């Protein structure tokens, strides 16, 4: 069973409109590379210099990777990944 990655609406144009894709990767950094291979342009939107951009939140099974091992957070078959762009606003 591969890893399921939920794609936010603004990035679905890169996945041909798919709200969820599957991939296999051993950690979050490798997942970003795999997504880039399958969906060109994804890596630039998600990372910079090998690090997840600060306005992108990635959750592995509902756990924020910032409180785990960041880009080195291990992944296994069956994991559910959510990519959530940060939203700012208000006054």
- CATH number of the domain at 26, please: 3.10.20.30
Residue 90 lies in a domain: no
Domain hosting 24: range is 3-85
Residue 91 lies in a domain: no
Domains identified in the chain, total number: 1
Q: Where are the beta strands (DSSP E) in the chain?
A: 3-6, 20-23, 47-48, 51-52, 56-60, 63-64, 80-85
Q: What does each of the 91 residues of the chain score in pLDDT, given as a tens digit?
A: 799 999 999 999 999 999 999 999 999 999 999 999 999 999 999 999 999 999 999 999 999 999 999 999 999 999 999 999 987 766 6
The separation between CA 4 and the C-alpha centre of its own chain, rounded to angstroms, equals 10
Residue 27 lies in a domain: yes
């Amino acid at each position: 069973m591969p890893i399921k990655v939920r794609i936010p609406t603004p990035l679905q144009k890169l996945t041909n409109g798919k709200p969820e894709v599957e991939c296999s990767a051993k950690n979050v950094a490798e997942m970003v590379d795999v997504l880039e291979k399958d969906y060109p342009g994804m890596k630039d939107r998600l990372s910079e210099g090998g690090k997840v951009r600060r306005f992108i939140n990635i959750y592995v099974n509902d756990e924020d990777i910032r409180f785990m091992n960041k880009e080195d957070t291990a992944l296994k078959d069956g994991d559910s990944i959510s990519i959530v762009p940060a939203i700012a606003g208000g006054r």
